[in-house]
Chain A
Amino acid sequence: MSSSLADHLIEHARERPTAPALVWQGDVISYGDLLEMAQAADADVMRLGLADDRPVGIRAKKSPQAVALILACLKAGRPFVLPSVELAPETLDALFAQAAASRVLIPEDDPVHGVKVEATEVQSDEAPEWPPPGADEVSFMLTTSGSTGLPKIVPLPLSAIDAFTDWAAGKFEIGVGTPVLNYAPLNFDLCLLDIWTTLKHGGCVVMVDQDRGTNGGYVADLLTDHAVAVVQAVPMLYRLLIDVAKEEDGRDFPDVRYALTTGDKMPASTVAAIPDLFPNARLFNVYGCTETNDSLVHEVDLSAEVPAQLPVGQPIDGVSALLVDPESGGFVEGEGTGEFVVRTPFQTRGYLKASLNEGRFADYAVNGQGEARYYRSGDIMRRHPDGTLTIEGRSDFYVKVRGVRVSTQVVEQAIQEHPDVIECAVVAVPDEMAGSRLHALVRKEPESSLNSLSLRQHCTSRLARTEMPSSIEIVTEPLPKTSTGKIDRKRCGPRGERSRVHG
């Protein structure tokens, strides 16, 4: 079965062969070029004589060659597992073995055809879990980090990809010729919007080189040079661009029409700077995960006062969103808090390894309908009287301090509300007496006089005593980040104790 995504791309290549499909390291790759590369990749894969009904592994950093190889797989209806290349080689091999990949494909540059595909065997003792239910429908298999052990493989049906790419194109006006920034690494679910929605609908993907992703000036130039209209990124990118604008005398990006923030909470100081940075943009807070893709969207009212915490908003069309009381297991109707449990048109049927589904996926009968499969997000959310949802914290961000359940994210939120705070992380440190004690690492505005006392004074009206951090370290340099730009809380503990941090 071939994918309508690939079919659409072929159509664009026929109708507008010279239209730009990808921008990469200063080169523009047209739809015609990209189709030829995909055909060359397909020919290389065909020569391997692989079984049609078994997946392949793809080991690739972001590149036009990798995009072409994925297109070839989509066109051939060949399922593929696409993990992060940053993983350890043994982890990668275990994932490929779990997906029963017949080969691991590595796309490389080629001066004649634009791409050539190398193939290696999979060597691992990991037990194969293929095929999952609905295997003939599976296309992308993305991975999501587990708290322990191997990342989890998330098989996504083609119908889910199609539904998502059509929704995203409509919602954010991605059509023929629309330049869209792709900031995320290739293996991220975010690429289903940045790259795959854009290519399906004839837009141009402006690809950020991962190795230069923290260089704000580089990304700023990409936005300007290619008149980027849609940006989706973690809050860190927006902060980098704000810093560039500050240095360059109020530089702005008037071509941007949609700015999407996702993956982490955007600090109020960043939200406040968006109208100057993108004078013509609407700002959306997007909530989703690999298992379900986007489920909630909130448009931020940029003319209103910035709330301390951005809502994640309301369910998008076709999404059924529940709050489930963690104690009773019953639905929370109307106002209240509970675990966010969701069903989307874009979701997986479950992890490839079926034993991982227990506790993460559950069947619920809602509104007199028959039972349907829902995903338990692990996020605790509050539903407000108008139906809007805000995140209270991860259920796994709760720690016990002196016997009391405390959410480190509630504490972070309170600290973040101080106007001199740029970003902060609160982590639980094991403590013999208290069980856990809280440590806060806070980055302040360089010129501000913020110290631990004034921050404590700010927090006393907002936090319970058990929520008050035992220790506060205030710095001016950026907090440690993961490769994906989220705050790396494992490296935010008290100096000398960073390996002991949990939570």
Chain B
Amino acid sequence: MDDMTKIKQFIVDEFMPDVPVEELDADFDLLTGGVVDSLGLLKVVAWLESEYDIGVDESQLGPESFRTVRAIHDYVEQEKATA
């Protein structure tokens, strides 16, 4: 499973288990759509840290950073590259 699918799968499992994973568009706005709120964001961060072993500096983390699956994916790619 590629990272994009893996992230989508996590979002769906965690926040909208009634939705088939292929329906979640990488550019769907998770914040405006109310899927991920501030509490949800903490869950995403915790998952990224354990799944990819990357540190997420929460003080650097605005709500914009993880607005879409693509944004999360880009962040992971970037962190992996600099690791």
A binding-site residues for B, Cβ under 8 Å: 433-434, 437, 451-454, 456-457, 459-460, 465, 468-470, 472, 474
Contact = CB atoms under 8 A, between A and B. Distances in A.
Given A433-B38, A434-B37, A454-B23, A468 B32 contact: yes
A434 B41 CA distance: 14
A454 B19 CA distance: 9
Contacts of A472: 16
B37 A452 contact: no
A451 B38 CA distance: 22
Contacts of A433: 38-39
Contacts, number: 43
Contacts of A459: 33-34
Contact of A451 (B18, B29, B37, B39): B18
Nearest to B36: A470
15 contacts: A434-B38, A451-B19, A452-B19, A453-B19, A453-B35, A456-B33, A456-B34, A457-B33, A459-B33, A465-B32, A468-B32, A468-B33, A468-B34, A469-B34, A470-B34
B31 interface: yes
Given A457-B28, A460-B29, A474-B18, A451 B35 contact: no
B35 A456 contact: yes
Interface in B5-50: 16, 18-20, 23-24, 28-29, 31-35, 37-39
Contacts of B32: 460, 465, 468
Interface of B: 16, 18-20, 23-24, 28-29, 31-35, 37-39
Given A433-B38, A434-B37, A453-B24, A465 B31 contact: yes
A5 B16 CA distance: 58
Nearest to B24: A453
A460 B38 contact: no
Contacts of B31: 465
Contacts of A469: 34
Contacts of B23: 451, 453-454
A454 B18 CA distance: 11
Contacts of B19: 451-453
Contacts of A451: 16, 18-20, 23
Please name the 6 residue pairs, one residue from A and one from B, whose CB atoms are nearest each other, closest first: A468-B34, A456-B33, A453-B19, A452-B16, A451-B19, A451-B18
Contacts of A454: 23
Given A459-B33, A460-B32, A472-B16, 8 more contacts: A433-B38, A451-B18, A451-B20, A453-B23, A459-B34, A468-B33, A468-B34, A470-B37
Interface centre among B18, B20, B34 (most CB of A within 10 A): B34
Nearest to A433: B39
Nearest to A453: B19
Nearest to A457: B33
B18 to A, nearest CB: 5
Contacts of A434: 37-39
Nearest to A465: B32
A452 B33 CA distance: 10
A358 to B, nearest CB: 39
Nearest to A452: B16
A457 B32 CA distance: 9
B64 to A, nearest CB: 13
B50 to A, nearest CB: 22
Contacts of B24: 453
Nearest to A470: B37
Q: Which of A433, A452, A457, A468 has the most CB atoms of chain B within a 10 A radius of its CB?
A: A452
A474 B18 CA distance: 8
A465 B34 contact: yes
A465 B64 CA distance: 14
Nearest to A463: B34
A467 B19 CA distance: 21
